[in-house]
A = this chain, B = another copy of it.
Amino acid sequence: MPGKTAEEMALDQKEISVAEFFEKNRHLLGFDNPAKALITVVKEGVDNALDACEEAGKLPHLKIAIDEKGNNKYNIKFRDNGPGIVKEQMPSIFGKLLYGSKFHSRRQSRGQQGIGISASILYGQLTTGRPALITSRINENNPPKWFKLKIDTMKNEPEILEEKELDDGFEPGTEINIVVEGKYLQRYHSVDEYLKQTAIANPYAHIEYRNPEGEEYDFKRAAHKLPPEPKEIKPHPYGVELGVLVRMLKKTDSNKILSFLQNEFTRVGRTSGEEICRLAEVDPDRKPSSLKHQEQEAILNAMQKVKIQRPPTDCLSPIGSDLIRNGLEKEIDAEFITSTSRDPEVYRGNPFQIEVGIAYGGELMERENEKVKIMRYANKVPLLYQSSSCAITKALEKTDWKRYGLEQPGSTGTPKGPATIFVHLCSTWVPFTSESKESIARYPKIVKEIKLGLQECARDLQRHLSKKQKGKKEKRRKKIFSNYMPLVLENAVELSGQGQELSIDPIMERVIDEELVEKAEVGEEDE
């Protein structure tokens, strides 16, 4: 066996298109199997529509319909009332992977990679050979534009098969039709469940949905105002890496290092900028592109040492404690609901925030002896898969639920009981463990914050449960009291030797006075 020479090997070397890469590795994008693929396609379409509506300042109204075409093929139709897409951008947005507006913006959004919707179209054409049909209209002054397109996988470029202007009769917004191989299930991991969870975390969205069985869902709004739009921020000095700093120094329009630091980073003012230069022993008037490697390194190190305020948090768009409660109330008929929205924190220079809700009892009692149901969210998007590798699951399993009144077989693990636990992480950059965005990487800082949020709600739950417990105990006491008191009184009367009858009623009235009871209990505890 002689083997190949370097020259022979060179003939085989070539570029791999990113579309080709993900076509072969489609499980990385969430297209592992037909059931999951169907959910992934819906998820990508819904994410895009909600992001677009919010960015345009419109209350979202989405219509989703899934129709079975036979032979495990499904047509998925998305319709939104969003801002529409200008016709020049339509082919690239839908026909090119790694294309979009969110990757470079430091601001919370559902999409962040520019892969999702084009990957769904790629998956559709791979499994059914069908092109995508897209209609979009940006306003009443422009006609609707219609495209039939595929992705040229070998080039990662859109391939327009047909395009035309439509007559009037299409309200502004976007409609997408994709045919994919899938499998429709009605279980925990289902499109129905996915949309229900989406409705909970996005109570200002109106979502209409028809599943392949023809059942219609109408998730109405629980709030009629959009949350404040998240603002875009500049990078924070604590989260930047040398290679990125080098690139920024090269590209900047600032003429001096000092102005570069002030203009291109968040929270750097004149004083902190000067201190960075001083610590780095670099003249603040130097031209940014003139810095040598050691000087670049010195600036980076100085950046980490100077005390700089945390990044602003208006780049985040949390759901808010009240809306979480509303969302849960709307979808779950529970006896008790609590929620919290913690203060923002920072990991690797990226602001993030944790929100938690717990619903207990009521209709959940039928699952009393099962594990609690966990609803995981990242940037308002439900996460249905890969829970075992997720920071949320880890934090939940490490919480001592016995202290808060839930069963927890073993000292760690998912607790049991009639509860649903809702956890939301929002961030300008969610560290997902894979492109399919199903699980949040376990950064210690993130896990810790989630745990604190869980404990906060768990304490409320514990208070509710012990009150309930006390109520039960008290009822029992009262019952015993009212059973035996007449007897005691009767005997007391007899013993006293007086003939007149004593009524139990005024005594019982006092007993039933809640305040007295509680005071008595507190006294008991003090002993």
Contact = CB atoms under 8 A, between A and B. Distances in A.
A275 interface: no
A126 B1 contact: no
B389 A126 contact: no
Given A56-B4, A388-B388, A12 B105 contact: yes
B6 A85 contact: yes
A460 interface: no
Interface stretch (A92-100, A205-213, A365-373, A478-486): A92-100
Q: Give the number of times this chain occurs in the complex, counting copies.
A: 2
A525 interface: no
A96 B15 contact: yes
A153 to B, nearest CB: 7
- Tell me which of A138, A241, A389 has the highest count of chain B C-beta atoms within 10 A of its own C-beta: A241
Contacts of A433: 27, 434
A27 B54 CA distance: 30
Interface in A117-163: 122, 125-130, 138-139, 153-154
Contacts of A93: 13
A23 interface: yes
A138 B129 CA distance: 44
Contacts of A122: 243
Given A56-B4, A84-B6, A86-B6, A243 B92 contact: no
A88 B10 contact: yes
A432 to B, nearest CB: 8
A56 B138 CA distance: 58
A193 interface: no
Given A1-B228, A9-B55, A16 B126 contact: no
Contacts of A493: none
Interface residues of A, number: 79
Nearest to A243: B126
Interface in A61-114: 83-86, 88-89, 92-93, 96, 98-101, 103-105, 113-114
A126 B244 contact: yes
A88 B130 CA distance: 40
A12 B104 CA distance: 9
A111 to B, nearest CB: 12
A101 B32 contact: no
Contacts of A57: 1-4
Contacts of A86: 6-7, 10
A346 interface: no
A246 to B, nearest CB: 5
Contacts of A246: 125, 129
B129 A32 contact: no
A227 B277 CA distance: 59
A242 interface: yes
Contacts of A244: 23, 126
Nearest to A52: B9
A83 B14 CA distance: 18
15 contacts: A2-B57, A6-B56, A6-B86, A9-B55, A14-B101, A15-B98, A16-B114, A20-B103, A21-B103, A23-B244, A24-B103, A24-B429, A125-B246, A126-B241, A129-B293
Cβ-closest 9 pairs across A and B:
A3-B57, A126-B243, A12-B101, A6-B138, A16-B98, A3-B56, A129-B242, A6-B83, A13-B101
Given A1-B228, A5-B139, 6 more contacts: A3-B56, A3-B57, A6-B84, A13-B89, A18-B98, A129-B246
